[in-house]
Amino acid sequence: MATLAEPLVERYGKIVRIPPGPGRAIVSTDLHGHMEDFRRVVAAFERALTRGNAYLVFTGDLVHGPAYEKDSYPEHLGDYYEDETPLLMQSFVEVQKKHRGRVICLMGNHEHSHVGGPHTRKFHKTPSETEYFERKIGPKRTSEYQGLFRSFPLVCVAGKGVVITHGAPRVLDATFAEICAAEYGGHETKTIPQMLEVPILGELFWARAAGSLCVRRFLRRVEIEGQKNHIAIYGHDPVRRGWAREGAEQLCFSTSFALRNARKVYIELDLERVYPTVDELKLGREIRWLYPELGDQRKKK
Ligand SMILES: [Mn+2]
């Protein structure tokens, strides 16, 4: 069982660190209001906790989901689900409180839309899903969640050299100190192309893959206490088959949004293990099926 003597996450402004040592980190990408997938991820974390020290990292985009009826649900959005963002947010707050110092959510572009980013129009056009969600939950919850979103970090440095971000870290020049001090406000009126030009935020939220040299330099700049970083893992962009490696340093994976249930995966990191390249993240060890019982569907094609 986990005990209080185990190290909790360390905070350096917008960078958070899960220190190396015995234990696991469960990592989930974009849930977009999918309650069943959220429950499965939390269950994986709580199982890991019964075996020892454990942490839970969401890479952002907990909020906003599709607004289709079951019979008109588009093929490209994977298996049908109903957007339950309000319940998911409530549950996230409860889980974070229950396991204080062990549960992290990074800022995604959808959370950012509530605290200074451009409003997102992936699921609702007029009003945007940003306004749609705020109207649905009312002013009191809105300001509570805005406070929570402002507390979300941008980067998580975990174990022996794994860096976790929302999208691929296409961070050209920002230093450790600049990332720590990044501000979320002031981008409401920007278009997405304008937002992409913003250092740090624009460089962390939208890319599917970044140049290998750029990623390697970024990884080096966010090293803490001499612990070398080797790989970056992230979501944001759905990968239909579950995950995709990009060069030696990048792994994009999909836990929920826009996937068939059978292809959804989460990552379970060993916080004592060095992963020199993303090839060392193995299916069945670090890469885990979110719906292990759907093996038959995975065999079909
Ligand atoms: Mn995103």
- Ligand 1 center to residue 76 CA distance, Å? 16
- Ligand 1 center to residue 195 CA distance, Å? 13
- Ligand 1 center to residue 270 CA distance, Å? 25
pLDDT class for 299, splitting at 50, 70, 90? Answer: confident
DSSP collapsed to 3 states, the chain: CCCCCCCCCEEECCEEEECCCCCEEEEECCCCCCHHHHHHHHHHHHHHHHHCCEEEEECCCCCCCCCCCHHHCCHHHCCCCCCCHHHHHHHHHHHHHHCCCCEEECCCHHHHCCCCCCCCCCCCCCCCHHHHHHHHHHHHHHHHHHHHHHCCCCEEEECECEEECCCCCCCCCCCHHHHHCCCCCCCCCCCHHHHHCCCCHHHHCCCCCCCHHHHHHHHHHCCECCECCCEEEECCCCCCCCEEEECCCEEEECCCCCCCHHHCEEEEEECCCECCCHHHCCECCCEEECCHHHHHHHHCC
Tens of pLDDT along 136-195?
A: 999 999 999 999 999 999 999 999 999 999 999 999 999 999 999 999 999 999 999 999
Tens of pLDDT along 210-254?
A: 999 999 999 999 999 999 999 999 999 999 999 999 999 999 999
Predicted pLDDT at 186: 97
Predicted pLDDT at 153: 98
For each of the domains in the chain, give its residue range(s) and CATH number, in order of start.
10-299 (3.60.21.10)
Predicted pLDDT at 235: 98
Predicted pLDDT at 223: 98
- Ligand 1 center to residue 226 CA distance, Å? 30
Predicted pLDDT at 249: 98
